[in-house]
Amino acid sequence: MSTLLSASAPTPSGNGNGDLASGQVLKIRGGRPLTGRVEVKGAKNLATKAMVAALLGETESVLRDVPEISDVNVVRSLLEVHGVTVQDDGEGVLRLDPRGAVSAHFEEIDAHAGASRIPILFCGPLLHLLGQAFIPDLGGCRIGDRPIDFHLDALRSFGATVDKLPSGIRLSAPEGLHGANITLPYPSVGATEQVLLTGVRARGTTELRNAAIEPEILHLIAVLQKMGAIISYEPNRVIFIEGVDSLRGYDHRCIFDRNEAASWACAALATDGDIFVGGAKQPEMLTFLNVFRKAGGEFDIHEDGIRFHRGGALKPVTVETDVHPGFMTDWQQPLIVALTQAEGTSTVHETVYENRLGFTRALNQMGADIVVHPEGFASPERRVPRRALEQAAVITGPTPLHGADVVVPDLRGGYSYVIAALAAEGESTVRNVEIIRRGYEKFLDKLTALGADYDVIG
């Protein structure tokens, strides 16, 4: 039975807190600027990893500012099937007690792994705790092949045996794990986290080269240091880890979610709105703010957040996604929606993932003029070295957008469709919207707070 709920009324949803639920469809009437204030909580890409780190402690951990998103729920379920008790104290505070940790059955793990990539990070902690681990095939956004070769090579370097099974990976390390010398072929966020979560309790020292250094990585290092780990963060992407015999629980407040903050900033650009993002901080967003300003956006930095609005006509930009401190790949999708309204031709080189521009097809259905070059292309002003798998999008604007019927392909693409529908004239239908709940908490409440005109069906 489908229920038509208007945005003017408080928007109940499957879980009653202004959030998206499975099977829901959004009917969006665009053409109105988004104005108002939203609060951004803890970063999805730190909170989930810090929860896994709690497995390594011998006492309870406390994690604060945890967002209410489905990726957190997936990790919570996986911890609980392994005997960790997770208590939600409300207000984003989770207490995680690993003292009852046990092996879990494959079926249980598989049932809870969800569409997430986080399960791969359970390998090291489970090997230290239980001497074995089973990790089902991973989910995660379909923005590329999402291989895990860097992870498996690292785990073998630590002394684990790794067997690829049709349904996932079985690992064992009956004699425990020893320190390793690892150089990553690419500064992979996940593989860096894999080495951190494994090296801290390995016998001896681990040396990691070409590591990722995103702010979320540094906060994971801070979490592990609070637990008793010895990790030195060296120049030139080098990390040394001195393995210790035991770790205790931590008490940590998550860094804010840069990806959500950048998403709402792009929403202000795309709809000619004015959005105050509470919790956003300038240092972690420097590169984004430069591009935002060059595209014609204005921002005001406050103690408690950042105000994003348009300064006038939007201007075309050339952007290359890259590892930190470059322009994050997670920021390009919402930005492209705004660039459809810029006066001129913009270029976005996506150098991190090989299939993260597919979402632009639906934007073209809405009236955008975006041409994707599947092999990318060289351009004189490039800063980031070309990668074999990169692609490029050329966006010519301004093009008025009109409503369409679209299906959400991935997390950031889904957010981008909603923003495009809000910027478009007329009504759009956006399906498969529950994917957005993987990374944006209380999404419907926030849309309502910003004056969006929409109905929830289902």
Task: Indicate which residues carry an active-site annotation.
Answer: 141
CB of residue 144 vs ligand EPZ: minimum separation in angstroms? 5
Structure tokens belonging to residue 256: 């804010």
How many residues are recorded in the chain? 458
Site string for ligand EPZ, 199-218 (x = CB under 6 A): -------------x------
Cβ–Cβ < 8 Å for 291, 317: yes
Q: Do 82 and 102 contact (CB within 8 A), yes or no?
A: yes
Q: Supply the DSSP string of 10-55, one letter for each residue.
A: ----TTSSS---TT-EEEEE--S--EEEEE--B-HHHHHHHHHHGG
**Using rule CB under 6 A, residue 411 touches ligand EPZ:** yes
CB of 154 to ligand EPZ, least distance (A): 9
Which span (94-102, 225-233, 326-334, 423-431) binds ligand EPZ, by CB under 6 A? 326-334
159: its two tokens: 């002394």
Q: Is residue 331 at the binding interface for ligand EPZ, with CB under 6 A as the rule?
A: no
Q: Which is nearer to ligand EPZ, 190 or 458 (CB)?
A: 190
What minimum distance in Å lies between the beta carbon of 341 and ligand EPZ? 23
Stretch that binds ligand EPZ, among 58-66, 97-105, 187-195, 339-347 (CB under 6 A): 187-195
Residue pair 434/24 in contact by the 8 Å Cβ criterion: yes
Cβ atoms within 10 A of the Cβ of 111, count? 13
> How many other CB atoms are found less than 10 A from the CB of residue 429?
16
CB of 97 to ligand EPZ, least distance (A): 24
- Regarding 416 and contact with ligand EPZ (CB under 6 A), the answer is no
Decide whether 204 or 374 has the Cβ nearer to ligand EPZ.
374
- Which residue spans within 236-304 are E strands per DSSP? 238-242, 251-253, 274-278, 297-302
Of 104 and 411, which has the nearer Cβ to ligand EPZ?
A: 411
- Record the tokens describing residue 85, joined without a space: 């008790």
CA atoms within 13 A on the CB side of 283: 6
Nearest distance, CB of residue 125 and ligand EPZ, angstroms = 16
Contact 341, 397 (CB under 8 A): yes
3-state secondary structure of 364: helix
d(CA 432, CA 417): 11
Q: CB-wise, 147 or 204, nearer to ligand EPZ?
A: 147
Query: Scanning residues 272 to 301, which ones bind ligand EPZ (CB under 6 A)?
Result: none
Which residues, numbered 342-401, are part of the site for ligand EPZ (CB under 6 A)?
352-353
237 binds ligand EPZ (CB under 6 A): no
Question: What phi, psi does 294 have (nearest 5°)?
Answer: -65, -25
Rg (alpha carbons) of the chain, rounded to whole number: 22
Q: Cβ(403)–Cβ(346) under 8 Å?
A: no
Minimal distance, residue 9 CB to ligand EPZ, in Å: 31
Rounded CA gap, 392 and 138, in Å? 27
Q: Whose Cβ is closer to ligand EPZ: residue 214's or residue 455's?
A: 214
Q: How far apart are CA 5 and CA 227, in angstroms?
A: 46
Position among 391, 439, 447, 456 found at the interface with ligand EPZ (CB under 6 A): 439
Interactions with ligand EPZ, residue window 18-47 (CB under 6 A):
44-45
Q: Whose Cβ is closer to ligand EPZ: residue 350's or residue 455's?
A: 350
Phi, psi of 35 (to 5 degrees): -135, 140
Two tokens, residue 453? 């005109």
- Residue 191 contacts ligand EPZ per CB under 6 A: yes
In DSSP notation, 285-351 reads GHHHHHHHHHTTEEEEEETTEEEEEE-SS----EEEB-STTSB-HHHHHHHHHHHTTSSEEEEEEE-
**Identified binder of ligand EPZ from the candidate list 29, 128, 310, 412, rule CB under 6 A:** 412
* Site mask for ligand EPZ (CB under 6 A), range 104-123, x = bound: -------------x------
CB of 182 to ligand EPZ, least distance (A): 12
- Write down the least CB distance from residue 180 to ligand EPZ, Å: 15
| C-alpha to C-alpha distance for 127 and 134, rounded to whole angstroms | 10
Query: Is residue 76 part of the contact set for ligand EPZ (CB under 6 A)?
Result: no
Smaller CB separation from ligand EPZ, 84 or 143 = 143
d(CA 126, CA 165): 18
- Whichever of 100 and 374 has its CB closer to ligand EPZ, that residue is 374
Instruction: List binders of ligand EPZ among 126-185 (CB under 6 A).
Output: 141, 144, 146-151
| Residue number, 82 or 117, with CB nearest to ligand EPZ | 117
Nearest distance from residue 60's CB to ligand EPZ, in Å? 24
Instruction: For residue 186, state whether it binds ligand EPZ (rule: CB under 6 A).
Output: yes
**Which of 189, 289, 295, 456 touches ligand EPZ (CB under 6 A)?**
189
**Which positions lie near ligand EPZ, rule CB under 6 A?**
44-45, 117, 141, 144, 146-151, 186, 188-191, 212, 259, 328-330, 352-353, 411-412, 439
